[in-house]
Structure 1
């Protein structure tokens, strides 16, 4: 009886796990979305770029401008540096604005650093800093300041790389 009891508990636990997994299984439409980008022909897909993002010649009406250097932001706790965050940013802008962005890059970098420092000071780089809500609010703040600095030709700011290194 002593040897049978652990096996019985394992079987009950396995059955409960399988039953819970089947009960909490997502809808088939959600499962058919593949994060690798493979297309399921049985599911309707939304185009990635809106139709207005392509000009009359079939050329994209936007370009990606890579900022030259990374951004390094200290993460402070009670006045002491506890981590360093390094980010690489790209700007999605109207085609032909690359030179304007590079001409105003020092002012743009200053504005971006202020947003990044504010984000760090409010705890944005602590804990699960790559949470989608946290990243979306950071991207929105960066986009807003880029549009104030460059103009409405800036559509979005993309966070290409983000790394956090704790300091011992």
Structure 2
């Protein structure tokens, strides 16, 4: 009896966990029977047009280069006069083909400017709570893109945050 009880408890726990997972899973995306798209495609097309992106144009891999900055960025999250966490992230820049050399030449100055944006983001609470939420990440990317364009000109197309992690202290 002493050897059967742990096995029974494991089976009951496994069954309860499976049942809870099935009961609490998110609802599936609504399906449309007539084959139309459930998203607002007209609004998406307007947003792409406003951004100057042609959705019909094929973007080939030869159009852009992705330049990964050589080292990660480490940003302290300070609360109540002490370091509460460290955020580590890697950043890449999307530039036209052949545009990587100016980035590597100006990388120290670019890293300094990026660190200032990242510190400001951390001090405004951008890395607190759900720090990977879309709105917070968009705010961070916009700040980094504006800074990159101020340093390198309009050749920087976008900023890619390729890795991000937060380690609480």
Tell me the TM-score normalised to structure 1 length: 0.68
Structure 1 ranges of 4+ moved more than 3 A: 27-31, 47-50
| Structure 1 residue 51, shift from structure 2 partner | 2.6
Per the alignment, residue 26 of structure 1 pairs with 30
Per the alignment, residue 82 of structure 1 pairs with 84
Aligned length: 127
| Structure 1 residue 94, shift from structure 2 partner | 1.1
| Structure 1 residue 140, shift from structure 2 partner | 0.8
How far apart are the structure 2 equivalents of 1:52 and 1:148?
A: 29
Per the alignment, residue 7 of structure 2 pairs with none
How far apart are the structure 2 equivalents of 1:109 and 1:152?
A: 17
Match of 1:128 among 130, 133, 136: 130
Gaps of 5+ in 1: 1-16, 32-46
- 1:161 to 1:48, Cα distance in 2 relative to 1, 3 A: farther
How far apart are the structure 2 equivalents of 1:50 and 1:149?
A: 32
Give the aligned CA root-mean-square deviation in angstroms. Answer: 2.6
Per the alignment, residue 108 of structure 1 pairs with 110
- 1:135 to 1:113, Cα distance in 2 relative to 1, 3 A: same
Tell me the TM-score normalised to structure 2 length: 0.68
Q: Output aligned runs, 1:65-80, within 5 Å.
A: 65-80=67-82
| Structure 1 residue 49, shift from structure 2 partner | 7.4
